[in-house]
Amino acid sequence: MSKEIVYKRWSFRNGCSPLKIIQDKFTFPTDAQGNLIIPKDNILVRVHYASLNPVDGKQYHVTYFPPFTNHGIGKDFSGEVVAVGENITKFQTGDLVQGLHPGMITQDGTFSDYLLINTKSCHYKTEIAKVPKNTNLEQAAAWPLVLGTAMLLIDKLPLKNKKVLVLGGATSVGRYLTQLLSIEGADEIFVSCSPRSEDLVKELGATGIINYRENTLNQILENVKDKPFDYIFDCWGGSELFPHISEVLVKGGTYNTIVGDAAGSSLAPMIFGTAKAIIRSIGSYFSLLGYSYNYVLVFSGHGWIDKAQEYVASGKVKIFVDKVYDFEELPQAIEYIDTGRAQGKLIIEVKEDN
């Protein structure tokens, strides 16, 4: 016997085609009790919530091949395990889980009723973990990509008693990064942000504020007269520090970025900023810069989610949710996130009747 699961998901053909809800299906054999028999290394999740990241919209607009595939969209998710393959021992039916799924690469995406996760994929593994007891499913969908990115920005860096600068401290990643720096014992945490975000980032652990609405370079130079920064973490984008890098960053220090040289959320800054970041990364690799420069991208299969779950479960990390949208309102959520006004993650609720 077999069972067919018909479900809905958001998809598109290419960057010029509209997003639309399509009907898809899974067909699995069943055992004598009617239980689904899914591939041995797979986990089937009924998605309850998925969150929107700025990169989701960017990838949608730059995806053109293959043009006849129903590409999926979305990476963050939370939900309930409805079936596991015979090789899965860490999870069981009924577990509440959250994670980061490649989506665009696997062509399904998390804005979907169901998600079939291959834990042994050779291309791009999904990060998945059980939901900590101190968070609900809505919150659980909000943090995987942004907290994971913040963790990779500080990966393998000794932080205790260090002086650091966070550019874009009120961005989604910047908020988590500031919290992690404080948790891990950084001594001085300077954060660039707008005046309206100053109280928030101080609450998250910032010890010094750079007002980016004024001359940020002068403020930064003023704050390195006694000691340069050990590390600079860029969550915003820009290149104005590089002509003064020997003044603002200790020799052999680290400059990690997730956005490259060009600030902004539109397509052109993403392309040109990334290109410049790659060139600078090559120079760093060959020790031509005098400091370490890294263009950091979060990816699955790195094994960071269990540590991220510990941070969340500790209660020391605050989770930010701005708005919750219905499943059908994904295009409106994308329009809103493109404005840059979101003060937390935008969550898409995937209801049982979709």
Residue entry with tokens 């804005």: 111
**Gap between the Cα atoms of 311 and 291, Å rounded:** 30
Band the pLDDT of 104: cuts 50, 70, 90. Answer: low
In a domain, 308, yes or no: no
In a domain, 306, yes or no: no
**153 and 138 fall within a common domain:** no
Token duo for residue 333: 């959520």
In a domain, 309, yes or no: no
Share of the chain above pLDDT 70, in %: 91
Could you give the number of structural domains in the chain? 2
pLDDT of residue 263: 65
pLDDT of residue 123: 62
List the CATH number of the domain containing 331.
3.90.180.10
In a domain, 247, yes or no: yes
pLDDT at 353 over 80: no
In a domain, 300, yes or no: no
**181 and 220 fall within a common domain:** yes
**158 and 244 fall within a common domain:** yes
The 10s digit of each residue's pLDDT in 131-141 is: 999 999 999 99
In a domain, 54, yes or no: yes
Sheet of strand 249-257, all strands in order from the earlier edge strand to the far edge: 208-211, 188-193, 163-167, 229-234, 249-257, 292-295
Overall average pLDDT of the 159-167 stretch: 98
Band the pLDDT of 29: cuts 50, 70, 90. Answer: very high
In a domain, 101, yes or no: yes
Model confidence pTM above 0.75: yes
pLDDT of residue 211: 96
**14 and 85 fall within a common domain:** yes
Band the pLDDT of 354: cuts 50, 70, 90. Answer: very low
Overall average pLDDT of the 97-106 stretch: 81
**56 and 126 fall within a common domain:** yes
pLDDT at 298 over 90: no
**152 and 289 fall within a common domain:** yes
Longest dimension (CA), the chain: 74
In a domain, 310, yes or no: no
pLDDT at 266 over 60: no
Range of the domain at 221: 147-295
List the CATH number of the domain containing 213.
3.40.50.720
